[in-house]
Amino acid sequence: MSTAVVWFRRDLRVHDHPPLVTALNEHDEVVPVFVLDDRLVHGRFASANRTQYLLDCLEALDGELRERGSRLVVRHGKFEEELPKVVEETGAECVYAAGDASAYARARDERVAQTVDLRLGPGNFIARLGDLKTKGGTPFKVYSPFRREWTEQPRRAVHDAPAEIPTPSRVQSDGIPSVTALGFDEPPTLIDRPEPGEAAALKALDDWAPHAKQYGNTRNVLSEPTSRMSQYLHFGCLSPLKLEQRTREATTYRGELAWRDFYAYVLLYGPVQRPEPRWDADAELLKAWEEGRTGYPVVDAGMRQLVACGWLHNRARMIVASFLTKDLHIDWREGERFFMHHLIDGDMGSNNGGWQWVAGTGTDPQDYTRVFNPSLQQKRFDPDGEYVRRWVPELDTPDYPEPIVDHAQERERAIADYREART
């Protein structure tokens, strides 16, 4: 009997899972494994919200595997120690996994590959990122030419979920722990939290796909629902290629999927570092921003939605990011950190890339002279006040604070600071 391990990471599904398909085609038995490594769980961007969602997605994946005669083997320990143990216990020949882009992921895979036969394939992204280069053979540094090449690149086939996954019983699983067992406090009960797991992701796709063409008309309206696919893409409960396939004619929405690949591509090849202004370190202003009491209703609404939902509308993400960096002059990394603490869809590439785009730093940044006016943003994207009223119910009462800064003055300072940094 030939046995292989399939190492699940950010691809918690059984449909369109290339490493799983390859393993089933080339081996008699497959051992699905997920490793909870404390260096990742409690790493730089530890989050009780996101960890709880991960654990719920693992439960859902285990259910999908059991329906196919298999189960998820969960091990708690270091990647480079637990995977060799599983290989030894099962007599597996190799380990299959979907390649990832971040420096952390690549270093992790290099460590594991020193002890097992690790075979990496596609699955986490739509494009084959390593094949996308300029005509001169260098990595793209700007989104628009990347998008053109990304659009033209041929796609691999989308795989159906296997009907059966033969799995040996001769391997022990530590089981899926509680979030508190992993050392977190019990996370808050989030509002509007999407159902975790693959079945929920596929249902959400069915519900969203008929409306995707309208995304270009409604994506910036703060009170309008969006696709809410980001958490499913982050944890891989939904194949990004399957999502693109189902929404291929929705040009604007497809562009958002290209941005996701682009920010992963930037992690793969390293961002361009641009000069940054001198940031202020005002703890009180930062706290006011985090708590949604800046005196600018649309900013406060966005920050309160983030904390209450573990998710934030994309237009609101840009508004609050601009306010932090260009009205309060606080380092965008403080915003990146706060977002990653709360977001269930917190993706290192997309979050880092989005913050740098607004802050005017890094690869393909937003023009630094463009500073979002929160009052005009509210009039344009929440004209009826529905969004603001939901999250700032004390508006127009004595309990609501006065603006903590004057936007017009801070805008002028921001432009001057950026100009000085780049001369």
Q: Tens of pLDDT along 222-266? A: 999 899 999 999 999 999 999 999 999 999 999 999 999 999 999
pLDDT tens per residue, range 12-45: 999 999 999 999 999 999 999 999 999 999 999 9
Question: Are the C-beta atoms of residues 327 and 316 closer than 8 Å to each other?
Answer: no
Catalytic residue among 7, 150, 259, 357: 259
Catalytic residue among 26, 81, 149, 279: 279
Is pLDDT at 3 greater than 90 in this prediction? yes
Predicted confidence band at 195 (pLDDT cuts at 50, 70, 90)?
A: very high
The backbone torsions φ and ψ at residue 120, rounded to the nearest 5 degrees and listed phi first, read -95, 145
DSSP readout, 294-335? SS-HHHHHHHHHHHHHS---HHHHHHHHHIIIIIS-B-HHHH
Active site residue 311: no
Catalytic residue among 7, 208, 289, 355: 355
Active site residue 244: no
Is pLDDT at 184 greater than 70 in this prediction? yes
pLDDT tens per residue, range 108-163: 999 999 999 999 999 999 999 999 999 999 999 999 999 999 999 999 999 999 99
Predicted confidence band at 273 (pLDDT cuts at 50, 70, 90)?
A: confident
CA distance readout (Å), 372 to 16, 334, 408 = 40, 19, 11
Catalytic residue among 7, 150, 332, 357: 332
Query: In the structure encoding, which two tokens stand for residue 377, read together?
Result: 């943003």
| Distance from C-alpha of 210 to C-alpha of 71, rounded to nearest angstrom | 34
| Distance from C-alpha of 345 to C-alpha of 347, rounded to nearest angstrom | 6
Q: Which residue reads 């939904």 in tokens?
A: 238
- What is the per-residue pLDDT for 161? 98
Active site residue 314: yes
Among 118, 119, 125, smallest CA distance to 102 is for: 125
Active site residue 49: no
- What is the per-residue pLDDT for 363? 83
Domains of the chain: 3-124 (3.40.50.620), 125-154+199-270 (1.25.40.80), 283-421 (1.10.579.10)
Predicted confidence band at 365 (pLDDT cuts at 50, 70, 90)?
A: low
Predicted confidence band at 366 (pLDDT cuts at 50, 70, 90)?
A: low
| Distance from C-alpha of 339 to C-alpha of 307, rounded to nearest angstrom | 9
**pTM for the whole structure:** 0.97
194 secondary structure, DSSP code: P
Active site residue 220: no
pLDDT tens per residue, range 54-76: 999 999 999 999 999 999 999 99
The mean pLDDT value for 355-380 works out to: 89
Torsion of CA 234, 238, 242, 248, to 10 degrees: -60
| Distance from C-alpha of 284 to C-alpha of 150, rounded to nearest angstrom | 43
| Distance from C-alpha of 30 to C-alpha of 349, rounded to nearest angstrom | 31
In 125-178, DSSP assigns E strands to none
- Beta-ladder partners of 6: 32, 96
Catalytic residue among 64, 82, 198, 256: 256
258 contact partners, CB below 8 Å, separation of at least 6 = 126, 143, 146, 147, 150, 151
